[in-house]
Amino acid sequence: MAVTSAPAVRFAPSPTGLLHIGNARTALINWLIARRDGGTFLLRLDDTDQERSRPEFADAIVADLAWLGIAPDRVIRQSDRLAIYDEAAERLKAAGRLYPCYETPDELDRRRKRQLARGLPPVYDRAALALGPDERARLEAEGRRPHWRFRLEPGIVAWDDLVRGASQVDCGSLSDPVLVREDGSYLYTLPSVVDDAREGITHVVRGEDHVTNTAVQIQILRALDAAVPAFGHHNLLTTATGEGLSKRMGHLSLRGLRESGLEPMAVAALAVLVGSAEAVRPVDSLEALGAILDLTHISRAPARFDEAELRALNAKLLHAMPYAQAAPRLAALGCDLGEPFWAAVRGNLDVMADAAVWAPVVTGPVDPVVEDQAFIAAARDLLPSGAFGETTWKTWTGAVKAATGRAGRALFMPLRLALTGRDHGPELAALLPLIGRERALRRLSGERA
């Protein structure tokens, strides 16, 4: 799907915890739409929850997005924009769409239980709309402070969802939403709508848990005489066991995935492609991932994000990575031994840091493991002279096989243990020229080299 015209999109996390892979899915989809179709990407920090929002989480959001390759065109913080929301709230009050309510949480809970017991939907009954000025004054004299609800108009709100197609919500089945708390602070809904309108957001793409919110927000936008953006609601990610993701629980946090050494493009590819008609596969750039993305191909069912699948994808990405791309990373790890080394070891890497494990096998020192001294001595005597090359391993093992009668594991494992000190690793045909004849002779002699 290509979005028509230059889209203005946003990613709007609350800085109340670390971003998880589900948040990354939303951020990446919006970023890819913006970059592919010549648009802009806004990072909006929804930090009006003063008790739970933390500056360190806001900083972590920016850092985690940068790790994925996402650099916002602009960043705004809702805590800096309270006066804008105040003005919008006053407009809604003047229009009769935002009205004061005085019920306590306990009173509302009891009312909901009575409705359920009578077989009625637990929808707010708008009792507060019947209060006259004297009754409101009496309640406030008792110390009550109102929360403010948005009066929904009855009927169907419909839109053409970018992911789900024709969508609608019957607002008659919803409670009038609370937009302002008793202490005057704002819940998510009003600031979100006001910011989308003020910042010219043209496309709102987010998780399907916001579908009902969309109907409410469309009504608020219309009440404010604001343009209604296009909406799209993608499926949600769960853990491999089907558990929902949570910032507070720390499920599959981007910080944790990064610290475990995973490649950002592996994380991005799986986050975007899982749960869609597109096959999950290694993708080497966000531009290439954007070319694959099609919102209409996203499944309606929740998608399970399997960390084992992520690690397998990560390995595939490394196995195909060219040396030019790997070289700076190898240098940072202190193990850039050149392109032949990378070609030899990349097929054995799960994460890039594994390359540092194999560098000492080449440079030494290695403590050789010699369990059959007679066999290793015979092999040592047959080691070819001169510089080692691509055919040395085949030539040498062929000669050892002919002289000793050994084949398969009985031939190759003792040589691997003696040359590398390990019972597994990269192909010795590629490692042996890097180890070189001098080190090979010393290790086959049982020396640490």
Which part of the chain is CATH 1.10.10.350?
Answer: 364-444
Write the class of the CATH domain 364-444: mainly alpha
pLDDT tens over the chain, length 449 residues: 445 579 999 999 999 999 999 999 999 999 999 999 999 999 999 998 888 899 999 999 999 999 999 999 999 999 999 999 999 999 999 999 999 999 999 999 999 999 998 988 899 999 999 999 999 999 999 999 999 999 999 999 999 999 999 999 999 999 999 999 999 999 999 999 999 999 999 999 999 999 999 999 999 999 999 999 999 999 999 988 888 887 666 678 999 999 999 999 999 999 999 999 999 999 999 999 999 999 999 999 999 999 999 999 999 999 999 999 999 999 999 999 999 999 999 999 999 999 999 999 999 999 999 999 999 999 999 999 999 999 999 999 999 999 999 999 999 999 999 999 999 999 999 999 999 999 999 999 999 99
**What type of residue is 355?**
A
**What type of residue is 32?**
L
Residues 6+ positions from 90 with CB-CB distance below 8 Å: none
What pLDDT does residue 5 have? 73
Strand (E) or helix (H) holding 165: strand 165-170
pTM of the predicted model over 0.85: yes
Question: Which among 228, 276, 198, 267 has a CA at the least distance from the CA of 42?
Answer: 198
The C-alpha atoms of residue 126 and residue 151 are separated, in whole angstroms, by 9
Q: What's phi and psi for 318, nearest 5 deg? A: -65, -40
What pLDDT does residue 83 have? 97
Q: β-strands 147-150, 178-180: how paired?
A: antiparallel
Q: How far is CA 225 from the centre of its chain?
A: 35
Which part of the chain is CATH 3.40.50.620?
Answer: 1-96+155-172+184-320
Q: What's phi and psi for 11, nearest 5 deg? A: -120, 130
The C-alpha atoms of residue 242 and residue 234 are separated, in whole angstroms, by 17
- Contact in structure between 233 and 163 (CB atoms under 8 Å): yes
What pLDDT does residue 88 have? 98
What pLDDT does residue 243 have? 85
Long-range contacts of 114-123 (CB under 8 A, 24+ apart): 121/173, 122/175, 123/173, 123/174, 123/175
What pLDDT does residue 249 have? 61
What pLDDT does residue 1 have? 46
Architecture of domain 1-96+155-172+184-320: 3-Layer(aba) Sandwich (3.40)
Strand partners, 206: 233
CA distances from 247 to 19, 56, 326, 447 (A): 6, 14, 32, 53
What pLDDT does residue 266 have? 97
